[in-house]
Each structure stands twice: as C-alpha cells, then as structure tokens.
Chain A
Amino acid sequence: MITTDTIVAISSAVGVAARMIVRVSGDRAIALLNELTDEAPTRPGAYRIPLRCPKALCETSVTFPAWVYVFCSPRSYTGQDLIELHLPGNPLLVQSVVEDLIRRGARSAEPGEFTFRAFIHGRLGLTEAEGVALTIHAANESELRAARQLMSGELARRLAKPMDRLADALALLEAGIDFVEEDISFISTQELTDRIDQVRQEIEQLLRSTARIERITHEPRFVLVGKPNSGKSSLLNALTRSDRAVISPVAGTTRDAISAQIVLDRGIVTVIDVAGLEPITHDPHGIQTQMQEQALRTLQHADFVIQVVDATDPDPSVRLPRIPDLRVVNKIDLKPHPDVQEGCSFPTVRVSAKTGENLSELERIMSELAFGRVETGATLSLSARHVAALEECLSALDQANTSTSTGATELIAQDLRVALEALGRILGQVTPDDLLGRIFSSFCIGK
C-alpha cells in the first residue's frame, strides 16, 4: 500500500512460457537495473542487453541476454519509473533474478500492487477502480487461502520451532527491561547468544535444504512414449495448453524430441515428447535410426516414463526398454468404453487430449509421481518472498550477535524484534501482547 518504494514481481502469467517477464516499479527501478548490467540504458526504450546471472545460480560472472524495456515516470503503466525484464522462460532463473532484486532493496509486490500504483498515479480512470479492487480482492483471497495452507504445511512446521525460540528469547529480554524491579534473573548473555545461534542454524539449515536449491540442479523429467500417432504431441499440447508440438494425423509428424515445462500444483516438471519409436524398416545408419537411438537415450535418463496408447488401437502394445511409470489411454472421445482390462503393474489413466476429459486427473497423478504424495515427505519450496524474509531474519540475528558483545539489551531486543517480524511475515505476526503473555506466564511479575 506504500506507493513510494520499489516493488518487484514476476508479471507474466503463471506457468512457463518462452519468455517470462519481471517488472520493477518505483524510484529505484533504474538504479536496480544498473546493478544487474554494465550496459544499463537510462532512456526509455527497448534494449537487448546482457544481464549478470544471479549469484544463487552461478558463482562466476556469467551473463545472459535479455530484452529490457525501460519506461520513465510518468509515462509508464504505474506512472513511476518502471523496467520490464523479458527473460528466457526458465522459472529458476526468473525466481533467482527476483530474489536478487529483493536482496538489492526491492520489495516483493503485494497482490494487485502494480495496478494499484497505476490507479494512484492517475494512469487508470475511476471507472476502472472497482475492477482493480476486485482484482486485488481475488488475489487477496487466494493469498489468504495460500497462507492458510501454508500454516498447516511443511514450512510452518519447520519454522515453528525457531520462531518460538526467538519469541521466547525476546520475551525474556523484554522482561529484563520492563520488569527491572522484580527479583528474577531473566536471561544471561551466554544463554541469549546460544539461543540466537541455534535459531540461526535452524534458519540456515532451512534455506539450504529447500526445493529452491534442489530445483536449480534438477527438475523432474517425464518422457512420453508410444506408437506413432497415439497422440503424444496432442497430449503434450493439451498439458501445456499451447500448440508447441506440430500435430497432424500423419504418423511420424514429430521428428525431434520436443520438451515443454508444465506447471503442476506443487511444482514444475519437464515433459519430453520423443520421436516415434516405430520399428526401423530400412537404412540402419539413416536418420530414423539416429532418432530412435536418441529417443532411447532420453528414455533412459528420464525420471518417469509415460506410455501413451491409442484407445482405438486394437493392438496398443509396444516393446519398451523400460517399464513405464504410468499408462495414458488417449482418444477416449473416440472410444469411451475400455475393452476388458489386461493386467497391469502400473497405474492407467484414460484421457482425451482433444476434449480435455480427465486431464486434471493425469496432472494430479504426474504431480504425485514427481513430488510424492501430499503430506508424506513433500519437498518444500520457497518463494522469493520467503527467501527474502529468511535472509532478513538471518542478517538481524547477525546484528543481534554483534550487539551482545556490547551488552546493550535494548539494541539486542531491537534486532531480535526485526528478526521475529521477518519470520512473522511468513507465518503471521507475533505481537507485543503475545510477548507479554509469554512473560506473564513464566514469571511472577508483581511490583
């Protein structure tokens, strides 16, 4: 709701596209761009320039090309200085860039905040105001829902302990300040230092062990296999909701392995559609053979294999060098009722890529395969906002540790408060009343 600081957000639609857009709006937008590149433009326009790769991704100073659009106040969507970074459609890269910008002083935008700024600066008319409000309302609802889910989730479980420890330490410290006349020794410097260290280790451990890091090196890969014209490409298109793979009724249309990233409810996976594994009829050194070899290699390296079969094909079996993890019976729009089911050691799902029937069930099963069942050992993934909050917490704890050496209680308390508030932004605030409650429940305060 503050309209003067600089905010950042991924502003392309959720999902994976060839390009993803990061928007930055506010007084420091152009200054931040300067920190990302040596060739920062200062005048409005579109530029193709190299951006430095975020440290989280690569230690050395690598650059990658990006389109950068610079808009200067007041002639921009928000009415403020605004930059748009059009980045290669790699979610990891994009998230790292956002995290990097936050580390450099930008703030993660609230739901609808760009539009709100546009409105505040007179870039949107009054008639559009209610639309803006409704957008924010919807975003808010979904954010609250997400927050509620978060509360019962893995992150909450893992943050609860450090947060509790921190709140306790702060309560003890505050008690020592506010109830000086009580005959209680509240907390020693050594105890305090120990607690701070413990919390810091827990947070660091959390940062190290989360999916954010894992995803940088690895993203689950699915391979679609099946007889030519079983509808693998149309299935891929249906899953990505695009026309990425060229489809035609002619068998063997797919000549190269085509891959796409698909956003599932709990993460992103890569789905690869390999060229048909049809038996080779001639020319053992020809292009078909090479393609088949490549397809087999892809198959061996995949995390999961999905066998796609045609519901209308009376003889759907194809010999595979590896047992599939999932069988998808496609084209059920043409043949709604299955024949007598043959015994099968892996799950089968019947879908129609054409009508979309049962696709969500397929996505659910894929998500379960890729990320495990919900509840059990779910991989924890952190958003840029969470990472920023955890890092702020760490830096405040460092500051607190420095302050313990001079022993100024009120300064340590201030740092711990900042640290606690940072965690509070993830899981809900601890208010002074909660702190007082902690004090009163553990100490007899009475003068």
Chain B
Amino acid sequence: MKVDFDILVIGGGHAGAEASWAASRLGVRVGLISLDPSRIGAMSCNPAIGGLAKGQMVREIDALGGLMGLATDRTGIQFRMLNRSKGPAVWGPRAQCDKYKYAAEVQRLLHTCQNLTILKGEAVEILVDEHRHVTGVVLSDQTRLSCRSVIVTTGTFLRALMHTGEQKTEGGRVGEQSARGLSDCLRKLGLELGRLKTGTPPRLKRQTIDFSKFEIQPGDAQPAPFSYLNEYPSESRAVWSPPLPQVECWLGTTNPDIHELIRANLHRAPMYSGQIQSTGPRYCPSIEDKVVRFSDKPSHQIFLEPEGLDTDEIYCNGISTSLPADVQSEIIRRIPGLENALVLRWGYAVEYDMVWPHQIRATLETKLIHGLFLAGQINGTSGYEEAAAQGLIAGINAFQYVTTGQASFTLRRDQAYIGVLIDDLVTKPPIEPYRMFTSRAEHRLLLRNDNADLRLTEIGYQIGLVRSDRYDAFVRVRDTIAQTTDRLKQLRCDGTSLFDLLRRPDRSWNNFSELLIRNGVVTDPHTAWRIETQIKYEGYITRQDKSIQRLNQLEDKLIPADFDYRQVVGLRNEARSKLIQFTPRSLGQALRISGITPADVTVLAIALRGK
C-alpha cells in the first residue's frame, strides 16, 4: 500500500526535531507537522543547553549522530564546564545560546535532510486500523495524511493553559495556540493522561537594566564544544573555538523586602489560590514557592542571561513565577539594578496534558498502539535535553518499526544517561516533571561527558546514524586511546608502570611527559587527558563491572510483549498486578519496578523458560 509518509512527527520542539533528523537521515520518508514551522527548535524557557547530567546527555545524543550538539556549538554565546572543581565524571558542559540563531540552526540542519518534509498544520487525530496499527494523521483542516508510524512530541501544547495571576490563556507558549483535539484522540485510543505544570520567568529589556549592580559571570576562557565532530583533532584547526562572539551573564539577588511583597500577594498566585492543581517540579520552584518553603532564607539568586546577540531580551533565571503582572512588576522594581527595567514578557505557569509513561515501552512505542511513539514532555519529562534524547530514540525506533516491523533499540543504564532516563520513566511513573540528575545514574563514574563517544558512537554507526566522517575520526581517537593505554602499561618508571602511576590521585600526565616523548608516546593534549581520566576512574569502574555484568544478564532476558502474567504459577498477587500494569521489557526492568522482589523475578524466569 502506498502511503504519504513512512513516519509523521507531530511537533517540532527539541524532541520532534531530533526524531525527524534521526528517522529521515536513516532513510525513510518523514513528515514533520508543526503548528508554526518558523518556531521549530524554539527555546521556550531558558536560552541554554546542557548543565549537570543534561550536558552529558547532549554529548550522548551527539555521539549517536543527533543534532542538538551541532546546533549548540554553532549558536552558543557562553560556554561553561560546570563542576570543574570536582572529578571529570561529574563535569557538565553548559552553553548559553542565541535562541533565535539556535532555532534557525535547527531548521537549517533539518532542511539538509532530503527525506524530510515540513508541514504546517495542527494534527487533531491519529488514525488506527482494526489491528491497532497506526495508519495516518488527520489535520484540523481535514487533510488526511497516511503513514505507518507516528511520533507525538507535543511538549507543553496538549490542552495547554497558561497562567499569569488570575489571568488564564489557552496556549503552549506566549502568542501560540494549544493542541486540543489530540488529547481527546489519545484518550480515545485508550491512553491514560495526566497533567503537569511548569513555569518560566519574566524577560527584561537589556537597555533598561543597570548591570553595574550585578556580579559578572564570564564563560570559560577555553570553551569545550558539545559535538565530538568539533572536538576530534583536525588538520584545519588546532583548538575549537565558538563561531559566535561570547558574552557575559550577570548574578544578582532578591531581598527580604521582595519576599514580604510575595507573601502578601500569595492569594493571587495560581499555585496557592487553587487555580492550578497539577504538580510542578521541586527542583525548579517558582519564586513564590521558594519564599514560602524556605522562609528563613533572606535572599535568592537571580541570573540575568542574554537570550541572543541581536535581541534585547534578558532571561531572569531564578524567579520563575505565575504571580499577576502587577506583582511581577513590583518584584522586579525592588531588585537592585532593575529599578527601571522594562518587562518584555511576563512570567507564567503552564499546565499541559501528558501520557503516564508506564504505557510506553523502553523503545518509546506505546504498548497499546503499534507504530505510535511518544517522546519528550508528553512522557512527563522536563528539559530540552531530556526531550531531545527521547526524540532521538523514538526516531531510531520508528525507523526500525517501519522497515522491519519491530522496534527494538534501547540503551542500558550502564551505557548512557539516556538509558537511565527512559528506564526510570517506564518503571517509575514520575511524580513531577522528570529532570535528569547525575545522582539518578548508579553508573555515574562510567557515564562521563568525556567518554560518550566511546560508549555510543559504534552503536550509532551500526544503526546507520553516524556517518563515515564522524566514524573515521572516532576510530582514530579510539585506537589512539587503546594503543597509548597499552604503551602506558608497558612503560615503567622506578619499576611501576605508568598506567599504575597515573591511577594515583596525585600524579598526572605532565609528570611523565618527558619520559613519554622519549618513548615516542605522543598524543594531542585532549586525548592525553581523556586517557588519564579513564585510568583514574578505572579502579572504581572495574569494581562496578561485576554488578553491571550481573545486571546485563537480566537485561538480556526479554519478556514477550504479549506475555500472560495471569498464567504464571507462584506469582504473588501484588507482583502480578504490578507486572500487568508495567509490562516490563526484560527481567532486569521487571526487577526495578517497586514492589517486585528477586524471588518474583525468579518465578517469572521459570515461567518464561517454560514457554
């Protein structure tokens, strides 16, 4: 049967862009449906990419051949490596981006995908045949597009409702509409929906701010790129430097006077007046939340971050709020340096529909509908990076689904933060918008920002997403690392191998540079640093290896999707109902569902073997 598209992606945010990029580059025909194609790749909230754990995820996306790292490197206007005072395992790259240039770059990259068509419209219905296979999408103008697979990446747009004080506006972003029909359609297809809340701070006009009252926050003197393509040694450049001019950010604080004002106006805050019932994130509270919950704290930080080079907009990080405009205005007026600041856009909270993620598999395909994939905030996450990571995985799996009939691509918890993210989503329904933290990863010392390519690029190449230019450069670096590490094991200094010496916390590559050069061991400084980092963590990682191997034994034991838990002899009732609810993909995943004991998994293993 001839179809219009192999895959239709609904929504052009960070998940949708990444999904479209991956699937179309893998070679199938993809249509990207956007309410407003000029807003594809928009940064709705903070004009920054990366941070702790999130930065690691962007590196992983890049190592697999995704687009987020490329777009960030091209449009970053301040690069900082967070946590540099701690060990490299917990360094997190972060970049402030020019948000207009970022969106434009994402759109430019998508235009290079020959198999991708961008469509303007609102998807209102997903068509499904009698075998519960996706067959197409209906747009609000009644256009019917046929396809084999659909990826829904609607972000905050599903039945979106914005709140600024008592004022409520329908829409997923200021000045944009809300997607209403799709929520009903998903519910009719049998999916159980939930509702979450997130918020954003006001934006100020640059020329009206007295920056002398703020502390300057510069970027790194030597910015590190997100994309390995920009990191690998190249003949055309010695060290990568950002193509855009670099700027500064500023740091200020609130004061008790402001907190008093907020307390006096709490009854007008939707989160406190009862106007908003849904749950917001604990890690990114609104300023009214901070003042209430930490009433003894005299001040809170405010980061002023430019939203771009050619724009007047300044993002007020730290005072996300849904208080009414008049209160916001007064808050800002009382911040030293912002006495005369002009507000370009008020802060707001937005409520939106999501789909409880126990209804998706680790491939991000819904359990109910064949060929229907969900990625991004619709699965209860928060953040551009979390969304992009899911978009990439959904794109790969939708491609597998339309070409082989079976989606099967997943990453394990010891392979990538992306693996941790999706595994958490499908085994523990989120109680708040899910954001990645390094503490969520039990294999944190292994999942470093410096080694994402060693963990994932080979996999990306096997899938077909990593092209030969990247792969060849990767293989050169990988081989250098392996060969040099071998040499370090052979070379000795006072009877001890350099490898063992480098494991000590007080020794570094530079201690042995002469000896190394004399023995012909020459690498560029960055690769040398990577080798050293790997060696430093090696002892700890070896200790973890055993538990990883054990874990993987369970991960490899897959449970068929149609497995009937009611037929399993000896399963406790509580375990049975949990397993039916979550339908885990593997025994390993089953064990991570709360309330499932190792004995339950053993009973399950017996039943599986009996099949």
Contacts and interface: CB of A to CB of B under 8 A. Distances in A.
Interface in B594-611: 597-603, 605-607, 609-610
Contacts of B605: 1, 116, 120
A179 B51 CA distance: 10
A350 B347 CA distance: 80
B87 A409 contact: yes
Contacts of B506: 406
Interface string B283-319: 1110000100110010011010000000000000110
A133 B603 contact: yes
Interface stretch (A69-77, A297-305, A328-336, A439-447): A439-447
B601 A1 contact: yes
A414 B540 contact: yes
Nearest to A173: B439
A408 B318 CA distance: 29
B599 A177 contact: no
A78 to B, nearest CB: 14
Interface stretch (B140-148, B455-463, B480-488, B566-574): B566-574
A35 interface: no
B489 interface: no
B423 to A, nearest CB: 12
Contacts of B53: 178
Nearest to A113: B602
Contact of A140 (B86, B283, B540, B599): B599
Best-surrounded residue of B320, B438, B597, B606 (most CB of chain A within 10 A): B606
B411 interface: no
Contacts of A5: 550
B279 to A, nearest CB: 13
B570 A134 contact: yes
B90 interface: yes
Contacts of B568: 133
Interface in A123-151: 126, 129-130, 132-134, 136-137, 139-141, 143-144
Given A116-B606, A446-B301, A180 B598 contact: no
Interface in B575-611: 587, 591, 597-603, 605-607, 609-610
Contact of B284 (A408, A432, A446): A446
A110 to B, nearest CB: 5
Interface residues of B, number: 56
Contacts of B345: none
A417 B609 CA distance: 34
B88 to A, nearest CB: 9
A38 interface: no
A126 B540 contact: no
Contacts of A432: 437, 439-440, 442
A358 interface: no
Contacts of B437: 174, 178, 432, 436
Interface in B407-445: 428, 431, 437-440, 442, 444-445
A141 B602 CA distance: 13
B89 interface: yes
Interface string B437-474: 11110101100000000000000000000000000000
A119 B606 contact: yes
Nearest to A137: B570
A433 interface: yes
Contact of B83 (A3, A129, A130, A180): A180
A182 interface: yes
Nearest to B94: A181
A130 B570 CA distance: 8
Contacts of B496: none
Contacts of B606: 116, 119, 129-130, 132-133, 136
A411 B540 CA distance: 8
Interface string A275-314: 0000000000000000000000000000000000000000
Contacts of B445: 410-411, 414
Nearest to A144: B597
Interface in B77-92: 82-83, 86-87, 89-90
Interface in A73-116: 110-113, 116
A410 B90 contact: yes
B477 interface: no
A435 interface: yes
B421 to A, nearest CB: 12
Instruction: Give the 3 A-B CB pairs with smallest separation, nearest first.
Output: A133-B570, A140-B599, A137-B570
Given A181-B82, A444-B300, 16 more contacts: A1-B591, A2-B550, A4-B550, A129-B609, A130-B569, A134-B569, A136-B602, A140-B597, A140-B599, A141-B572, A408-B505, A410-B444, A436-B437, A436-B440, A446-B283, A446-B284
B500 to A, nearest CB: 16
B452 to A, nearest CB: 17
Interface in A386-422: 406, 408-411, 413-414, 417
A436 B553 CA distance: 29
A112 B599 contact: yes
B602 A110 contact: yes
A410 B606 CA distance: 39
A1 B572 CA distance: 17
A116 B604 CA distance: 11
A445 B301 CA distance: 10
B535 interface: no
Nearest to B89: A410
Contact of A137 (B444, B554, B599): B599
Nearest to A5: B550
A116 B605 CA distance: 9
B602 A410 contact: no
B610 A129 contact: yes
B247 interface: no
B600 to A, nearest CB: 7
A183 interface: yes
B323 to A, nearest CB: 15
A51 B550 CA distance: 31
B439 A436 contact: yes
Nearest to B52: A178
B478 interface: no
Contact of A446 (B52, B285, B431): B285
A440 B440 CA distance: 14
B439 A178 contact: yes
A410 B88 CA distance: 9
B438 A178 contact: yes
Contacts of A414: 444-445, 540
Contact of B439 (A3, A174, A183, A408): A174
Contacts of A130: 569-570, 606, 610
B168 interface: no
Contact of A177 (B83, B320, B442, B600): B83
B27 to A, nearest CB: 38
A170 to B, nearest CB: 9
A177 B282 contact: no
Contacts of B607: 129, 133
Nearest to B536: A408
Given A178-B439, A414-B445, A433-B428, A140 B600 contact: yes
Interface string B547-571: 0001001100000000000001111
Contacts of A183: 301
Interface string A1-32: 11111000000000000000000000000000
Interface in A170-205: 174, 177-183
8 contacts: A2-B554, A141-B572, A177-B83, A177-B438, A180-B83, A406-B505, A410-B444, A444-B297
A141 B87 CA distance: 44
Contacts of B284: 445-446
B570 A136 contact: yes
A445 B300 CA distance: 10
Contact of B599 (A111, A120, A181, A406): A111
A440 B283 contact: yes
B199 to A, nearest CB: 11
Contacts of B439: 174, 177-178, 413, 432, 435-436
